[in-house]
Amino acid sequence: MESNEILSLLAEHYKLKGSLIPLAGELDLNYKLTIDNETAFIVKISRDPETIASIAFQEALLCHLKEKGIEGEVPQLIQNLSGTYQKEVFLNGKKAILRVLQWVEGRLWSQTNPILSDLRYGLGNHLGNIAQNLQDFKHPFAQRSFEWNLSECLWVEQHLGLFTATELELVTPFITAFKTHQKTYNQLPKSIIHNDANDHNIVVSQALIQPKIIGIIDYGDACYSQTINDLAVACTYGIMDTEDPLAASLPIVKGYHQANELSETAVSHLYHLIGMRLVISLTKAAINKKSHPENKYLLVSEKPAWALLHKWWKINSKRAYYSFRKACGFKAHPNLAKFEQWGKANTFSLKTLFPSQKKQDTLHLDLSVSSLWIENEAAFNDLTYFQYKIERLQEANPHKIIAGGYLEPRPLYTSEDYDIQSNEGPISRCVHLGVDFWLPSKTTVHALLDGRVVMALDRKGEKEYGGFVVLEHQIDAMHFYTLYGHLDPESIAAHKVGDALKKDSLIGLLGNKENNGNWAPHLHFQILLDLLDYTEDFPGVQTYQEQDLWADLCPDPNLLFKFEELKPKLKPTTEDIMPFRKKHLGKSLSIQYQEPLQVVRGHGAYLIDQNGQKYLDTVNNVAHVGHEHPSVVKAGQQQMAVLNTNTRYLHPNLNKAAKAIIDTLPKGLEVVHFVNSGSEANELALRMAYTVTGGKEVIASEHGYHGNTNGTIGVSSYKFNGKGGQGKPKDTHLIPMPDAFRGKYLGENTGSLYAQEVHKTIASIQEQQKTLAGFIIEPIISCGGQVPLPNNFLALAYKAVRAAGGLCISDEVQTGCGRMGTHFWGFELYGVSPDIVTIGKPLGNGHPVAAVVCTQEVAQKFANGMEFFNTFGGNPVSCAIASETLTVVKKEKLQENANQVGSYLIQELKTLQKDFPILKDIRGHGLFIGLELLSDQQNPLALETSYLANRMKDLGILMSTDGPDHNVLKIKPPMVFSFSQADRLLHGLRRVLKEDFLSVPKTL
Ligand SMILES: Cc1ncc(COP(=O)(O)O)c(C=O)c1O
């Protein structure tokens, strides 16, 4: 009824005809008017006296912005037939004002997913631009008294009775803070501001990847207020529903400051203002809940607002202030420059800090993620060994104090206390904020300057500080703090907060691992420009993401000592590495990910980059028993230290490794040839087949990959039919990929149909009077997109091949060594036994060792007089590594783990599939899984698959894509992959699958 009336009003006053869709609105009636499915307008009917009173003001404001030339970004008013922008009308017999505005094309912030930093920056920048252009706009209506005006926020105090005691705990601190800072706040610059950049008023472009801010609509709440309030409002809504709201607010602040410069004083109010805006919203919601229980729109933002207020309240206000300063390009701490100047002018001697030490010089010790000195986690967590190495280093450098560590990203902080949830998944605190001095326990530590004790306690616990002292120093008008960690708690027991400590007086003694948090003895020495309200602790490491902030709050202690040796060491960045690599390394090498990763360390199922960022690795099946598994590493290191030669000498390792492999294989497969790579293994297997059969003809599957050598490329259609490939060699014969899901024959029971293809191929070879040498295939075709073979196919195919005199080669380079979970080898899934098995990737857990295993008969015939010699194949080091890898698979029950975690993953992925139908097929065995992405019309979704892999990387999870159509996501992690890691993967997938680029229906 109402919309018919509105349509006739639109026709009468605007000559506009079309269809109306109602839109959400608090006080106005809002509609979208569409004409001929193209042009669109917003129709606003205002009946509320307050809104009616503001219409002339809004009109003037929009015209002002138009004059300033930012037309496209703000909604344009449309003139009616009388040449004005508003029309008094009667709707349902009541007076109302009708306005029509140009539709701002796009979607709302509230409908956009994901919201990433760039978009938040765009929001701040856009709003800053509007604020900048409104600086010289004046209007009497803007001065009205208005409850949403933050400068009038104290009206909320009359309604505190609506809150529970727990709610009041969150609300009152912000009211108190507002009052405390009101005097300076009142003096902040004022202007007319939009004042309502909430998620229903921000229009975002339709682009599903990297969308941009198009405009901010609805100027109904614009008012004259402190300019900073506009930013506070935008931040409040722009950080709703985030894990880390402070981090989310920073790009908004940065973007705003770039467009409309903020003063340092204004920034100091931002944290409280964001809290206060939430308090206003929640008070309004509480009032409305009472008076309009039926109006859902009024209550819409209540729940996330409480959640945000709770998180915001937990954030230290000073930390927020310093973060905002940094986002604006100021030094995070206002005293930093002063401190640096003072530091430059005053030099301290280590003799003051450690009077018992004769040494005057320092030796830098690199404990960063890429440091080889610290070795792996097993080594650096073995404190006796660590201490032994320190002592050796000290012996070699008797006149130097071993020190270092400022801003070093370290892998040392392995306790869970160091992990935090960021907006992009879990991250760990790993960047060291102080300098460590590696000196013996009981070394005395003395005050560098006069000071006052502000903390002195025993911080017990694994990887904690142990005995811990913080002193406050006052220099001219500036004060700062020095922090001493890992002291003997007894030695500091006498210090009390408030005690004065004179320069040179004793602070305490260095502790030992029993009382210093379980570290090799050292002093952690850190400078703090602010205590950030800590009273019993202070972080000594922070995240890489916040490194720049913390570097300003905790300046380099070496500023006081000025050792050349301790100056920050710059490690090669991605930008340093790329140009050389591009110029001087093979031009056909590829690099994973749009933003390449530099990985410098591995551990278990994780890869770690040069900044200490940990990535959960679901790609590297080469690191079979976990990246840098300590016992495999040790086996290699120990053998390498003693002997490495070739197979022309006897060595027990060769027999031991061969036996370890044979023990896992079915009877009959019992002669081993060691080589160095999967390609070499397949090359040798082919040569065996040629020699044994006298034939040259090989049958292989379409989309198969078997290696990078000439011979193996010749049987890899993935390569010879791929980019740059030279087509199929004449003695290679392809069968269609036995893909029951999307291949030539569809369905579970197509094994015999695909086997018929083998029969046909053999017949055609024989027709040409040629001899079949063999058939090579993987049990699950990896590069083909993790395609398991249909039931009975392999048994029938092997039978046909053998009947024609050929040999059957199972390429287990990807699938072998327990990965299948239920079986140790892939071919066992199908109840067959090949004549030759090739083993590669998993065998050396990253070390280049591979093997070809065949029957006695094949081995006999292959030994035709020509020596098989491979310089590196079967060397004692590689064999020690291969044996140990297989031992670890058994000892740690990794095949069972692959079965259990793999089955769980497949089952949960199938649950996920129900919610996200683009996951058209989930397949695989054990920890060798593929997800195929197709549209509803069964078309491959390569871009979506690549998007998924890249976004998962943003969340700290590495995944790879494959398949002839690049639309299969592969999951083949190290076999130590745990249930909780599987959950993290599933959680990440669910999150990304909800994102717009993947969730918009794929109809092509
Ligand atoms: C199934 C299969 N066979 C053989 C190879 C070649 O192994 P390599 O790269 O160790 O030479 C690969 C490598 O990806 C493979 O996936």
Give residue-wise pLDDT tens across range 432-477: 999 999 999 999 999 999 999 999 999 999 999 999 999 999 998 8
Q: Sign (positive/negative) of CA torsion 531, 532, 534, 540?
A: negative
Q: Residue 1002: pLDDT band by 50, 70, 90 thresholds?
A: low
pLDDT at position 535: 97
* The model's pTM: 0.95
Region of residue 533 (left: phi > 0; alpha: psi -120 to 50; beta: else) = left
DSSP 678-741: HHHHHHHHHHHHHHHHS--EEEEETT----SSHHHHHT-HHHHTSTT-----TTEEEE----TT
Pocket lining: 676 vs ligand 1, CB cutoff 6 Å: no
**How crowded is residue 151: how many other Cβ atoms within 10 Å of its Cβ?**
19
Q: Please write down the long-range contacts of 906-909, taking CB distance under 8 Å and 24 or more positions apart.
A: 908/982, 908/986, 909/986, 909/989
Q: Residue 196: pLDDT band by 50, 70, 90 thresholds?
A: very high
Q: From ligand 1's centre to the CA of 688, what distance in Å?
A: 18
The three-state secondary structure class of 915 is helix
Strand partners, 698: 732, 774
> Does residue 39 have a pLDDT over 90?
no
> What's the mean pLDDT in 212-226?
94
- Give the phi and the psi of residue 363 in degrees, each rounded to 5: -125, 125
In this structure, are residues 386 and 513 in contact, taking their beta carbons and an 8 Å threshold?
Answer: no
pLDDT at position 418: 85
> Does residue 1000 have a pLDDT over 90?
no
- Give the phi and the psi of residue 342 in degrees, each rounded to 5: -60, -40
> Does residue 988 have a pLDDT over 70?
yes
Pocket test for ligand 1, best of 706, 783, 815, 870 (most atoms within 8 A of CB): 706
pLDDT cut 70: percent of the chain above it: 99
Q: Residue 413: pLDDT band by 50, 70, 90 thresholds?
A: confident
* Closest atom of ligand 1 relative to the 840 alpha carbon: 10
> What's the mean pLDDT in 44-68?
88
Pocket lining: 539 vs ligand 1, CB cutoff 6 Å: no
* Closest atom of ligand 1 relative to the 704 alpha carbon: 1
Q: Name which residue sits closest to atom 16 of ligand 1, judged by CA.
A: 814
pLDDT tens digits for range 721-750: 999 999 999 999 999 999 999 999 999 899
Cβ within 8 Å of residue 454, ≥6 positions away: 470, 471, 472, 481, 497, 531
Cis, bond preceding 521 (omega within 30 deg of 0): no
CA 813 – CA 385 distance, rounded (Å): 37
Q: Which of 75-79, 347-351, 630-634, 868-872 has the lowest mean pLDDT?
A: 75-79
With 0-12 / 13-18 / 19 or more C-beta atoms within 10 angstroms meaning exposed / middle / buried, residue 440 is middle
Mean confidence (pLDDT) of the chain: 95
Pocket test for ligand 1, best of 619, 703, 705, 737 (most atoms within 8 A of CB): 705
Pocket lining: 782 vs ligand 1, CB cutoff 6 Å: yes
pLDDT at position 294: 77
> Does residue 706 have a pLDDT over 90?
yes
pLDDT at position 292: 79
pLDDT tens digits for range 97-133: 999 998 888 999 999 999 999 999 999 999 999 999 9
Q: From ligand 1's centre to the CA of 842, what distance in Å?
A: 11
* Closest atom of ligand 1 relative to the 709 alpha carbon: 11
Stated as kind and residue range, the H or E segment containing 947 is helix 942-954
pLDDT cut 90: percent of the chain above it: 90
pLDDT tens digits for range 662-691: 999 999 999 999 999 999 999 999 999 999
> Does residue 299 have a pLDDT over 70?
no
Which letter, b or e, does each residue of 804-838 get, where b requires 16 or more Cβ atoms within 10 Å of its Cβ?
A: bbbbbbbbbbbbbbbbbbebbbbbbbbebbbbbbb
Pocket lining: 814 vs ligand 1, CB cutoff 6 Å: yes
Per residue, what are the HEC states of 324-358? HHHHCCCCCCCCHHHHHHHHHHCCCCHHHHCCCCC
In this structure, are residues 358 and 443 in contact, taking their beta carbons and an 8 Å threshold?
Answer: no
pLDDT at position 401: 98
Pocket lining: 711 vs ligand 1, CB cutoff 6 Å: no
Q: From ligand 1's centre to the CA of 136, what distance in Å?
A: 68
Pocket lining: 621 vs ligand 1, CB cutoff 6 Å: no
Q: From ligand 1's centre to the CA of 606, what distance in Å?
A: 22
Pocket test for ligand 1, best of 624, 679, 686, 878 (most atoms within 8 A of CB): 679
Radius of gyration of the chain, Cα coordinates, nearest whole angstrom: 35
Amino acid at 562: K
> Does residue 1 have a pLDDT over 70?
no
Closest CA to 184 of 80, 65, 264: 264
Give how far Cα 62 sits from Cα of 14, 145, 219, 858, Å.
19, 21, 8, 86
CA 731 – CA 733 distance, rounded (Å): 6
Q: From ligand 1's centre to the CA of 98, what distance in Å?
A: 70
Pocket lining: 705 vs ligand 1, CB cutoff 6 Å: yes
Pocket test for ligand 1, best of 719, 786, 813, 838 (most atoms within 8 A of CB): 813
pLDDT at position 290: 83
Q: Sign (positive/negative) of CA torsion 905, 911, 915, 918?
A: positive
Pocket lining: 682 vs ligand 1, CB cutoff 6 Å: yes
pLDDT at position 298: 64
The three-state secondary structure class of 522 is coil
